[in-house]
Structure 1
């Protein structure tokens, strides 16, 4: 596996692959890999001639009181893991190359990014959209792979790609979970053993809503109340929001008549965790 740091070198290599008629699969990440990341890489390996993974902790998507400085990083470990699943190139840019002196161009998706994560993390999605556009322009993939755990991010990126006529297919991939249901996340490393156990209440809460839904409940007030009730059973978990929204528009719905998604965020110790669960009538 080759490691490329400079954006211009990465782009030259991508243009060469394109001229050779090769399909490029791309997995953008912030590193500190877990099985969720590796599942995206394996999917890309199955579907594409060349697989590129980026490892870049993007400062633009962190707020001033968030965890940019302490976000887990272990590049040698990540490179070993990526190589083991068949990645061809790891693109590992530096801040000064991604955002050089004088950088002043940003990408913003408006309506989809206003609520949920966008409300609690102002400018987060501006940072996400900007870095994703830059990465797509550098790597020039045919397909880019995103996990559904960051459901709002997935929809923001899909909307951006459609609106800007970008020639790339965004491939959604299912959330990967631990055996006890906790969604895999690099931020899970912040959890103490007791907090790690407490965090499983997020999955149990989503499962309880799913069970109620499967029994015929379509009223989202009642479904959300069920999620809140289960979350309240764990006093060390502090939910920030629980919402049920249309799976495409991310607008709140009162009664589920088409695919909807339960989205939640909660603080568990020092970790802020998010999760999702799709409800399909």
Structure 2
């Protein structure tokens, strides 16, 4: 996990205390009770901070583009355009994608429209329509937030943080499972003592456990077929019928041969120099490469 919210805490506190934002909440939620108004005040303060961070990213990377273009920047694709050829710009985008992870895609267009509907006195960007180019304007609420909050935030990657996990202990628990079109169903789960004691600590360590040693390993086609058969047998014990063995037997094993620069029939697969690969969808992460 990364700390993606600490950067805006002080800013959100000052926004919540601003008379202008409070008056906007009161006028828009006339009949709401205090708790509802406070929740909306907190939500809008976070929305303002996130949207203005995205607009600041646009101002730094592509100042002539409309506000809607932030959606494209947050997708993570390095499109072959001049603005993204700069390593500095690309790093700003990568950092922003951490902080605005909940504002990607259509979410950006939704929160952008909400931002436009807010009184201009609260904002530091003037924007009448989402397809317009945002323009900087002064604000009496934290007037230096562009220089002191947004720009420094974009220049640094968020730090990792530890997250405490509340583990279920011994006893009966209920898991709520829902399927599309059906109401949620609570499924009972009995956790025995020996299972509850497997993980004594609820803190997930972020320390690196990978070593420089990454020896090769080999597996034969026959071993894979035996493993597939074992999977079928275990699943059948729970009333699930699969055909992993049959599907695997119908796969033709062809291994790459460097000398002929082609694929040839083989019965043994050697994995060597494999690493964890992080990437976007459909970029070939599933492909096994032999280094």
TM-score tier by shorter-chain length is under 0.3
Q: Which has the higher contact order (CA 8 A, sep 6+)?
A: 1
With the length of structure 2 as denominator, give the TM-score of the two structures: 0.23
With the length of structure 1 as denominator, give the TM-score of the two structures: 0.23
Q: Which has the larger radius of gyration?
A: 2
